[in-house]
Amino acid sequence: MQIRGTRGWAGLVGVVVGLVGTLGCLQAVQAQALPTATQASSLSVFGGLSGVSTGIGGGRNVGITAGVDYAIRGFGRYRPVIEVRGTYPIHSGTIDDQKSILFGGRLERPMRAFHPSGDFLIGRGEINYIGTFLVNGAPLTSVYLQSSSTVYSPGAGVEYDLTHSFAARADVQFQHWDTPAVYSGSVWAKQATLALTYRLDFNHRSKERRRR
């Protein structure tokens, strides 16, 4: 029987929190140092609900997904974005549920109010098997309660500007997980997310201070 704990998650979360804090400080410094027309980057946060097809025995669950985007000055019609996101299950199915913390890059193509993009993320994930009945082999050879894996996640999505600060967001991620609970040793999960994005407008705050 394979039962793995969540050691390493605290350290990974600490790294993510530290990275987000660093990006925020960097964005604030740039906003104060550069004129509005030449801002080199922007910071935004997003949160919403995800529907997950886990790839194991028809498993499905619903989770909360939240993250941070750090957009870098674009080149041509494209803009690179550094993204950190996490997903935590809030409604488990009858097979398994998945949680993960991912980090990577996204390439955005602004088109007026629409911002389509493609991304590739990598990180760490954990699968909890509901009911502990999943087996690897016939006749029964092993029962798994939990396993951890490196997760590789290509995806695509779009944001639509609602206001200067808010945007609606939809994306799909295809996630490669390793798991000992299936013959192949790995599965492809599919995660669809609907979220709301809030853009932190440091430029506006800087202009207000200058007016005073």
**Over the stretch 7-35, which tens digit does the pLDDT of each residue have?**
445 454 454 445 445 444 544 444 444 44
Query: Would you say residue 109 lies in a domain?
Result: yes
| Predicted pLDDT of residue 208 | 45
If one counts the domains in the chain, the total is: 1
| Predicted pLDDT of residue 92 | 80
Query: Would you say residue 128 lies in a domain?
Result: yes
Domain around 87: 9-30+43-211
CA dihedral 141, 7, 89, 121 (to 10 degrees): -100
Whole-structure pTM value: 0.75
Please report how the helices 9-33 and 202-211 are oriented relative to each other, as an axis angle in degrees rounded to 10: 40
| Predicted pLDDT of residue 28 | 46
Query: Would you say residue 38 lies in a domain?
Result: no
Structure tokens at 61: 């669950």
Query: Would you say residue 4 lies in a domain?
Result: no
What are 139-174's pLDDT values in tens digits?
A: 556 677 889 999 999 999 999 999 999 999 999 999
Query: Would you say residue 187 lies in a domain?
Result: yes
Residue 73: band (very low, low, confident or very high) from pLDDT cuts 50, 70, 90: confident
User: Residue 137: which CATH number?
Assistant: 2.40.160.20
